[in-house]
Amino acid sequence: MRIPSTVTLGLGLAALLTAAVPATAAPAQRTTPAQQTAPRPDLPRQRLDWGPCPAAQTELNEAGAQCAHVTVPLDYADPGGRTIRIAVSRIKATAPGERRGILLSNPGGPGGTGLAHTLSLRPALKDVAAHYDLIGFDPRFLGDSSPIRCAPATPSKPPGPVTSPRADFETSVASARETARRCQEHGDNAALLPHASTRNVARDMDAIRAALGEPRMSYFGTSYGADLGAVFTQMFPRSADRVVIDSSTDPAATQYELFQSAGTPLEEGLDEWARWAARHHDRYRLGRTAPQVRATVQRVLDLAERHPVRIGDVRLNAPVLRLFLRQFVQNEEGDPALAAVVRDVADAAAGKQVEPGPELAAMLQFLNSPDLEDAMVGGALFMCGDGGWPAGGWPKDPETYWRNSVRSRATQPVFGPWANGMIAPCAFWKGEPRERGTDVRNDVPVLMLQARRDNNVPYEGALALHRRLTGSRLVTADIRSHGVYGRGTEGNRPVPCADDAVNDYLRDGTLPGRDLTCPSTGAGR
Active site members: 223, 454, 482
Cis peptide before 110 (omega within 30 of 0): yes
Cα–Cα distance measured from residue 121 to residue 220, given in angstroms and rounded to the nearest whole number? 9
How many helices (H) and strands (E) would you count in the chain? 20, 13
Q: Is 50 helix (H, G, I), strand (E, B) or coil?
A: coil
- Beta strands 240-246 and 217-222 are parallel
CA dist 343 and 316 (Å) reads: 14
Find all residues with CB under 8 Å of 313, minimum gap 6, and list them: none
How are beta strands 437-438 and 314-316 bridged, if at all? Answer: unpaired
The one-letter code for the residue type at 167 is A
Rounded CA gap, 132 and 138, in Å? 19
315 has which bridge partners?
310
Q: Are the CB atoms for 131 and 99 separated by under 8 Å?
A: yes
CB 233 within 8 A of CB 444: yes
DSSP 85: E
Buried b (16+ CB within 10 A) or exposed e, 132-168: bbbbbbbbbbbbbbbbbebeebeeeeebeeebebeeb
Tell me how far CA of residue 86 lies from CA of 140, 145, 210, 305, in angstroms: 6, 4, 13, 44
Given a contact cutoff of 8 angstroms between Cβ atoms, the answer to whether 183 and 193 are in contact is: yes
CA dist 522 and 87 (Å) reads 41
- ∠ at Cα 3 (147, 204), nearest 5°? 40
Q: CA-to-CA distance for 22 and 423, rounded, in angstroms? A: 5
Report the chain's C-alpha Rg in angstroms: 22
- In this structure, what are the phi and psi dihedrals at residue 153, rounded to the nearest 5 degrees? -75, 140
* 431: alpha, beta or left? (left if phi > 0; alpha if psi -120 to 50): left
433: amino acid identity, one letter:
P
Task: Name the amino acid, one letter, at 316.
Answer: L
Ranges of beta strands (E only) in 122-212 are: 132-137
Task: Determine contact, residues 158/3, Cβ cutoff 8 Å.
Answer: no
